[in-house]
Amino acid sequence: MKDALPYCTTGKAIKGYEESAIAKGETNDCVVRAFASCFDVSYDYAHKYVRENFGRRDRNGTYGTVDKMTKLAENRSQVNYKKVKCVGKINNFNRRTLEYDVKVKGVKVKRKMTVGTFTKQNPIGTFFMLVSRHAFTIKDGVVIGNHEDSVMKKRVLLHAFEVK
C-alpha cells in the first residue's frame, strides 16, 4: 500500500525471535514483542521480564500495561540501559492524554491523536505505542508489530512511551 507507514517484520526487528521456542508457542504476545523491540532485548528476555514484572501469563494478553510502563518511568528504572518517558499531557483526571487542540471554524476543539499524526510529529525516536487492546513499536518512523499497525494510520492512540 502506498499510504502505509514503513514496516519491519518482527523476525528481523527482535533478537532471537526466529530461533525462540517460546515465541513459536505464544499467542497474544504483542506487549512482549513491543517490549523486546523497544528495549533491544531478545524475545526470551522480554517474555521473562513481562511475565515477572507485568504479571503476564503464557498465551494470554498482558493487562495493566499502562500502569506498569508509567511506574517504570516514574521509578526511572532501566532495562538494557534504557529508560522510559511518558508522552502526552496530564489532563483534569490526573491521567496522561495524547489529545491536542485544533481550531475548526474558529472554535477550539480537542482531537484524539492517531498513529499517523503521532508518526508525523515524532519522526525520530523509539516509542512503545498502546492502542485499544494492542501494543506495538515505532522506531524512527518504522512500525514493528503486526502489518496492520502500519496500514491503520487513523487508529486512535491511547498511550505512548518514549524509550531512550
* 65 assigned to some structural domain: yes
Task: Establish if 123 belongs to a structural domain.
Answer: yes
Each residue's pLDDT tens digit, 117-145:
999 999 999 999 999 999 999 999 999 99
Which CA distances in Å does 92 have to 89, 95, 97, 103, 163? 10, 7, 10, 21, 26
pLDDT of residue 139: 96
Burial status of residue 153 (CB atoms within 10 A of its CB: 0-12, 13-18, 19 or more)? middle
CB atoms within 10 A of CB 73: 17
Confidence band, pLDDT 50/70/90 cuts, at residue 79: very high
> Would you say residue 17 lies in a domain?
yes
Residues 6+ apart with CB under 8 A from 92: none
Residue 1 belongs to a domain: no
Residue 2 inside a domain? The answer is no
Evaluate whether residue 124 is within a structural domain: yes
Look up the domain containing 108 and give its range: 7-163
C-alpha cell at 11: 523476525
How many domains does the chain divide into?
1
Taking alpha carbons only, the member of 63, 36, 66 closest to residue 48 is 36
pTM for the complete prediction? 0.92
